[in-house]
Structure 1
Amino acid sequence: MNPSRPAYAATHADTHVDESQSSLYTKVAWRLVPLLFFCYVAAYLDRVNVGFAKLQMLKDLHFSETVYGLGAGIFFIGYFLFEVPSNIILHKVGARLWIARVMLTWAVISGCMMFVRTPTMFYTLRFLLGLAEAGLFPGVILYLTYWFPSERRGKIIALFMTGIPISGVLGGPLSGWILHSMSGAKGLAGWQWLFLLEAIPSLVLGVVVILKLDKGIEQAKWLSDAEKRTLSANIATDASATTSHTFKDGFTRPMVWVLSAIYLFFIMGLYGVGFWLPTLIKGSGVKDPLTIGMLTTLPYAAAAISMILVGRSSDARRERRWHVAVPGVIGTVGWVVAVVAGSGNVTLAMIGLTIATMGVMTTLCQFWCLPTAILAGAAAATGVAVVNSVGNLAGFVSPYVIGWIIDRTHSTDLGVYTLAACLTMGALLVLALPKQLVNR
């Protein structure tokens, strides 16, 4: 006689299911994300520590800013060439073996950077480093789609990608201390110690990946059979909502190439931070490498907080476009503040650089909710790699162009304005995407 009772029971049951699944996904996140996070911290540190090495390396080796910019950027040519093949191999052989291979290879090459003596050696090792590291980031993004449905990926991807700012929080003071304290030890320059010591974490983590990372849900011994069924059913349901599943789809869908263009604009901003932040801080009047290293922690720490908060908001609202575009515009404002108000003023420069870093990194982590909402299965393996590899060509263009501009104008201003314009273009293109396609 009471028609409300069944409705109440259904609501109560739904609430119980939601709580149970939230608990399960928390369990999965704690198992997977910390290890992947530390792998990315090590990867990003080995990729951009050349920005700190530059503070001593250029003088010791008599390199110009253009030589540095080309060497910093040529990493991404190797990265571009091997990105898609690397992700296809990962999809076939599994994350455990392939991610471990990636990490062990780049650790050795990164350590060998200490032997650089000529521009040719610099270019060669940076190219090989890109070749070795190709596949880690898109591979992890792909791997997370095996575990988390699209509506839960905003926060998870944000947590993983906080590895970028945390590598700055940890790596900035560490790099500054090595340059400050280790110069001349055992006959080696500070920048040589920098490359040698910062390669060690990648070696250790590569071994840990082999021992701890599961290939997928079915291989996870720490899950019960019921938990495996729940996770697999959610992934299957999520995949059924997409229309692209084959390797070919990841190459041929026009939207993949639109996303690649957007990501290219955003990456211009990212490597403005990664490769030039120490130089920009130095240009504001700070000279000691240790102090520069300590100051770089501020923008990166603020970015880590911003990434997590915006990721939670994006998942809660099931809205992706504005959560990508708005931080991009904020990053643009930060770059302009850093140039207009920050020249010679450390406080204003740090405010501008902090805002820029928050905007750039938050935009990037939320961007990866877009392609994974459109692509699934084999299409995700190729599509994510295509987007990442094409976008990362900006990692070649950005440092080279900015280095060339600095050599010609003896100022970073025009280069930074270029980064700001790229962020704005990327944000506008995101807002042009159909919201029904990406808001999942």
Structure 2
Amino acid sequence: MDYASFFIALSIFLVTLFLVLKRPRNLGIGYSAMAGGAVSLLAGVTTFHDIFVVWNIVWNATFTFVAVIILTLIFDEAGFFEYWASRIALAAKGNTRRLFLLTIILGASISAFFANDGCALVLTPIVVSMVRKTGMKKQSLLPFIMAAGFIADTASLPFVVSNLVNIVTAGYFGIPFLGYASIMVFPDLSSILFSAAVLWLYFRKDISRVYDTSAVGDPLSSVKDSLLSHIAIPVIIVLVAAYSVSGFYSIPVAFVAVPAAAVVLAAASARKRIDTRRVLKSAPWQIVLFSIGMYMIVFGLGREGLTSMLSSALSALKPLPGPFSIISAGLLFAFTAAIMNNMPSVMLGNLAIGSMRGAASRQLIYANVIGNDIGPKFTPIGSLATLLWLHTLERKESVKIGAGRYMKMGIILALPVLVVSLAVVWIVLSL
């Protein structure tokens, strides 16, 4: 290993990550990552050929992500999510604890079908508004917003489209939609159950017992476009069916998600009930640039020695008996996600697994997914969903959560969920 080249690659990565997190002069995270990618190219850490290699890895995930988020934003503008939040608030019948559990179920559903970033983007402001509207005590706000942010990531395991991590990994190893879902549905269910349990145990003293349902209002009053709100669930059903069929023919999920988003966007534009320009403007274009730039940087860093280091560590963990091998690997992937963000982390993990001798271990592949889906909750920088969640809280002026306080809650809440999910996927793969 050329230590000088490795040091240069690592320095570029660390400086880029610093700019992404600090956002000096409100600099977009995409611009920071692309600047880092350009420096990596100029320094010889990556080559022009690497750009095409990286794009071949990330294009499917990138286009699918943008399409799913656009669908999410359109249905949000139409009032679909707020309608269901109001229905849930009424269904809980003034019982705050019941509402807390129903909020987790709503978040898990949004995360599964509209991705973790869509969940963080949509559910957080709705939860803040709902808690304030119902007149709950101020101390009850933190449990609800933590539940919204936490479940966005921990419930993003079941489908390929539920998380960018899943899309990248499934695409890299050629895992079809149904093949992926057949393995990950059970770990996802266990993750949701244990997430609800740990959130409840941690926050049970802060949740007030009752709230005023009369303040919720008529759920229909939040609907701006009844047609779009009515077609949301049928669109989800058609998309899931299309994703399933596409897997049999090795059709990338982007070829399903992008046309669906285009049709719904065209319908929304024609009806003129919602501002589609605002939807397109608020789509996560910065995340597209972030993905490409950061992947280039990590690709170069991996080639300079980090991939071989991770491969060696994974090889040392493989002989461990029973579930300890997959749990140890998952914890390692979770650690890398927590300190470097899960998008570069999952790519590094995929490269390391792919470079190991013999066929890629299914256990390591799914440990990489789970570690990078749940592990980011250990730190505020672990996932884009968490960064979106924190940004939303700041914009809504609801609760300010410091890094130290967040990490304490994140580790206590996420660690047991991560270990249980890894143990469950080991059981599924062993059957």
TM surpasses 0.5: no
TM-score normalised over the length of structure 2: 0.31
Larger Rg, first or second structure (1 or 2): 1
TM-score normalised over the length of structure 1: 0.31
